[in-house]
Amino acid sequence: MKDKGSKLIIKASEIGQFIYCPVAWHLQRQGYKGKSPALDRGLKEHYDMGKELDTMMKEEKKERRFLFAGLALMGISILILIAWLVVYLPDVAGMVVWLIILLCSLILTVRSRRRYTYLRRMRKEYVISIQT
């Protein structure tokens, strides 16, 4: 980066450095060299944070697979129960089906809310922007 009068010229590579780590970008602009115990500690912390984020993303994928499998099994179980009720207890079937649907929606709503809260906390902790 160079100053020409009052104009500030920033290179594209500096933008990438700033996005990756604003503190490192600022220190480099101030002329600090890249060898120090603090820099080594910072590099280690960035590496550890990256590993934690990778682990978190892998766990989220695994959790989604388990959730899908659980929901599929629950759906199959509900269909079997409904078929059984219609055949053997047609008078009670309507109320039981309504209760099952209500219970499933409650479970999914609570689970979704917990997951949303967890992900918001993790994104806030690691300063990850939410992209939709």
Q: What is the pLDDT of residues 99-122, one digit of tens each?
A: 888 888 888 888 888 887 887 787
Per the model's pLDDT, the better-predicted residue between 4 and 39 turns out to be 39
24 within domain boundaries: no
Per-residue model confidence (pLDDT) at position 33: 67
Identify the domain containing residue 112 by its residue range.
Answer: 61-125
The residue-averaged pLDDT of 66-95 equals 81
Per-residue model confidence (pLDDT) at position 1: 47
Check whether 91 has a pLDDT greater than 50: yes
40 within domain boundaries: no
CB 97 within 8 A of CB 85: yes
28 within domain boundaries: no
97 within domain boundaries: yes
Instruction: Count the domains in the chain.
Output: 1
42 within domain boundaries: no
Per-residue model confidence (pLDDT) at position 132: 46
- Number of other CB atoms surrounding residue 42 within 10 Å: 15
53 within domain boundaries: no
- Number of other CB atoms surrounding residue 27 within 10 Å: 17
- Distance from C-alpha of 10 to C-alpha of 22, rounded to nearest angstrom: 14
Amino acid type, 8: L
- Number of other CB atoms surrounding residue 49 within 10 Å: 13
